[in-house]
Amino acid sequence: METKYPPIPEKIWQLQVISNGVSGIVLKISDTAVVKIALGEENRPALDTEYAIYQRLGHHPSITKLFYQQNGMLVLERLQYPLRKRLHDLSDMGKVPPTTDILRWALQITDALHYVHSCGILQVDIGAHNALLDWEDNLKLCDFAGSSIDGSTPTVFPSRKSQNTNIPDGEPSVQSEIFALGSMLYEVETTKQPYHDKSDSDVTKLFSRGDFPDVSTLILGNVIARCWKLEYERILEIMNDVKLIWDKI
């Protein structure tokens, strides 16, 4: 039986805006689907790249699902909201995620990134803003507009709080992804980005000296520190270390 996906309405600009990005806007089609549209012709190539990436990735449980493409627009599954929103909400209440959520999200993001890398893709802009929670609070990696496929030049960059200062802008690698993952895992456990109270220029100076936030009391502290120090070669090694922590709780 053929699966029926929600069609894109004719009066598309009357739809509710879900989110805005640098290259595209996301609108609600239904309770189960959204449509992503390029913001201007100059951003069409970014969405074309995203479509090519989704075509290569196929289905993975920890990556948002593409339903179809129509006239350059991408129809994707609709999820709750970015992980960063949940972390902000917890931070406002003076709370952090439960240990089981921290480790489950860490396993899901590492599983997704390991798979993405195995497909010749670098997500580049890794962070809690580009991971969505589904309706059961599972994490899914999202947004590949501007990412790198088969070594192509990306059109997005990691934030300064996630960027390895020893790797030039526009030259992403597995190592730069691992460094950014360390910053994301730090945010997952603490609800705040590394040096959240410092300017980007200050963070760049600190990172360039190898001066990172204290993680000694964090359950993922050793994993995060090793990501920042580039002691891992592959995401799979990180995922295995998180699994070992999970098995001990």
User: What are the chain's domains?
Assistant: 12-77 (3.30.200.20), 81-248 (1.10.510.10)
pLDDT at res. 1: 34
pLDDT tens, residue order, the chain (249 aa): 345 788 998 888 889 999 988 789 999 999 999 999 999 899 999 999 999 999 999 999 999 999 999 999 999 999 999 999 999 999 999 999 999 999 999 999 999 999 999 999 999 999 999 999 999 999 999 999 989 999 999 998 888 899 988 887 778 999 999 999 999 999 999 999 999 999 999 999 999 999 999 999 999 999 999 999 999 999 999 999 999 999 998
pLDDT at res. 2: 45
SS3 percent helix, strand, coil of the chain, rounded to 5, is 40, 15, 45
Q: Alpha-carbon distance 170 to 155, whole Å?
A: 8
Q: Alpha-carbon distance 66 to 48, whole Å?
A: 13
pLDDT at res. 95: 98
pLDDT at res. 193: 97
pLDDT at res. 3: 57
